């Protein structure tokens, strides 16, 4: 990837490797996370499965409380207390001799610490919280580089400047000595990306990376993320509540609702023919930049329930316009298989029966 300046932009390149041909680098299966609280245990994740593929972008979308951030934190072993993984596995390099289950590792142990950074990089929503205010951005990137490799200080500094240049920071040899508060939000997020890339991970998890940014800056950062991801063949897990960002960035999409993946599909499939009633309702409720004047939006009745009071059966049934009386209340629909398009909904079965 010699010249990043002439790199293709999103949407103008031939498509990425098809999912079936891409190498699976991380595989989450039936992950369950609980937060034991005074009032009882809150199940934040309830059987989440997903795969990350080299060179592809998995978008994870859902409303607040759906568990999208918890999924990222569970994978990385950085759940907020008192949250803990109570079931399932997180396999790195699944199906190879090096396969290891991250869920079984000590989250604070040396192995896990090494994997964070050198195998899996993390990009936060507000990069300011990811940095210490007391150190220059250079210090922090250099520390990251040196923590994961036997590199001299001068060497690490040279590499840090290179990284800052790569993420599009003007005059990196000067900015490296800036403190985080001296940088704009857009520049801080670029530094955040540089830091995540410092140890050349092959997996990146970006949790709402552009939510705090203005729309022109957001476009620049998404552009940068997509370019780096393509050039380096990174498996990117992009977590966002913004349906527009999903449409622009993702190859595949997992839609989450109350701690479960309710639909998984390629991005075209999801937007052209959404299967789950929640996905359908969600897509219809998005404001449209091409709307006619005073156009009403389709709405979903009610609000997302608190994860502590999960409805019985299918958790979406109280809000579902297509609820099957006597069934969805009592029985949970089968989960979505993580490797093929589908939805966790009894209506799917009915539709399939109709076809066959």
Partner 1 sequence: MSDAGRTVLEVDGLRKYYPIRSGLLQRESGRVRAVESVSFSIDRGETLALVGESGCGKTTVARCILRALVPTAGAIRFSPEQGRTIDLAPLPRRALRPLRRHIQMIFQDPYASLNPRMMVGDIIAEPLLVNGMGAAARQARVQELLELVGLPRSARTRFPHAFSGGQRQRIGIARALALDPTLVIADEPVSALDVSVQAQIINLLLDLQDRLGLSMLFVAHDLAVVRHVADRVAVMYVGRIVEVAETVSLYTRPRHPYTEALLAVVPKADPALRAAATPPRGEVADPANPPPGCAFHPRCPHAIDRCRGEVPELRRIDGGNWAACHRAVELSLAGVA
Interacting residues toward partner 1 by CB under 8 A: 9-12, 63-64, 184, 186-187, 214-220, 222-223, 241-248, 250, 267-268, 271, 281-283, 285-291, 293-300, 303-304
Give dist(CA 109, CA 127) in Å, integer: 25
Is residue 344 within 8 Å of residue 263, measured between CB atoms? yes
**Minimum distance from CB of 315 to partner 1 (Å)?**
14
Are 261 and 48 contacting, i.e. CB atoms less than 8 angstroms apart? yes
Answer for the pair 62, 304: CB distance below 8 angstroms, yes or no.
no
Residue 114 or 214 having the CB closest to partner 1 = 214
Nearer to partner 1, 134 or 290 (CB): 290
CB of 44 to partner 1, least distance (A): 17
- Which is nearest to 239 in space by CA: 263, 255, 218, 219? 255
Q: Which is nearer to partner 1, 149 or 185 (CB)?
A: 185
Q: Is the peptide bond before 82 cis (omega within 30 degrees of 0)?
A: yes
Shortest distance, CB of residue 77 to partner 1, whole angstroms? 28
Q: How far is the CB of 266 from partner 1 (least distance, A)?
A: 9
Cβ nearer to partner 1, comparing 104 with 297: 297
Helices (H), the chain: 68-76, 110-118, 127-130, 137-147, 153-166, 172-175, 185-197, 215-232, 243-249, 267-272, 277-284, 346-355
Rank residues 157 and 190 by Cβ distance to partner 1 and give the closer one.
190
Tokens for 190, please give them: 């670029």
Residues 297 and 291: their CA atoms lie apart, in Å, by 10
Q: Closer to partner 1 at the Cβ: 132 or 285?
A: 285
Kindly state the smallest distance separating residue 296's Cβ from partner 1, in Å.
5
**DSSP 8-state secondary structure symbol assigned to residue 232:** H
The C-alpha atoms of residue 252 and residue 235 are separated, in whole angstroms, by 11
**Rounded least distance, CB 247 to partner 1, Å:** 5
* Both structure tokens of 19: 């999912």
């Amino acid at each position: 990837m010699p010249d990043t300046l002439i790199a293709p932009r999103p949407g103008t390149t031939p498509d990425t490797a098809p999912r079936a041909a891409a190498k699976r680098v991380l595989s989450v299966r039936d992950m369950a996370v609980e937060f034991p609280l005074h009032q009882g245990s809150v199940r934040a994740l309830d059987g989440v499965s997903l795969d990350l593929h080299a060179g592809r972008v998995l978008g994870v979308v859902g409303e607040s409380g759906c568990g999208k951030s918890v999924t990222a934190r569970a994978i990385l072993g950085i759940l907020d207390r008192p949250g803990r993984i109570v079931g399932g596995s997180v396999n790195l390099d699944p199906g190879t001799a090096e396969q290891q289950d991250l869920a079984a590792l000590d989250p604070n142990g040396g192995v896990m610490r090494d994997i964070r950074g050198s195998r899996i990089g993390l990009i936060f929503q507000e990069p300011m919280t990811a940095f210490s205010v007391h150190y220059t951005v250079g210090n922090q990137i250099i520390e990251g580089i040196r923590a994961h490799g036997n590199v001299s200080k001068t060497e690490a500094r040279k590499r840090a400047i290179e990284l800052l240049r790569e993420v599009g920071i003007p005059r990196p040899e000067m900015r490296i000595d800036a403190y985080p508060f001296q940088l704009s939000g857009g520049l801080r997020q670029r530094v955040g990306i540089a830091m995540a890339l410092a140890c050349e991970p092959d997996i990146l998890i970006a949790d709402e990376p552009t939510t705090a940014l203005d729309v022109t800056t957001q476009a620049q950062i998404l552009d940068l993320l997509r370019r780096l991801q393509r050039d380096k063949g990174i498996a990117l897990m992009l977590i966002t509540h913004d349906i527009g960002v999903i449409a622009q960035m993702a190859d595949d999409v997992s839609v989450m609702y109350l701690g479960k993946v309710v639909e998984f599909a390629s991005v075209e499939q999801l937007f052209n023919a959404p299967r789950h009633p929640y996905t359908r309702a969600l897509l219809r409720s998005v404001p449209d930049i091409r709307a006619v004047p005073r156009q009403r939006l389709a709405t979903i009745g009610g609000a997302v329930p608190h994860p502590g009071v999960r409805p019985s059966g299918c958790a979406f049934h109280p809000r579902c316009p297509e609820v099957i009386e006597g069934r969805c209340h009592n029985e949970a629909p089968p989960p979505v298989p993580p490797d093929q398009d589908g939805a966790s909904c009894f209506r799917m079965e009915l539709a399939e029966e109709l076809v066959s």
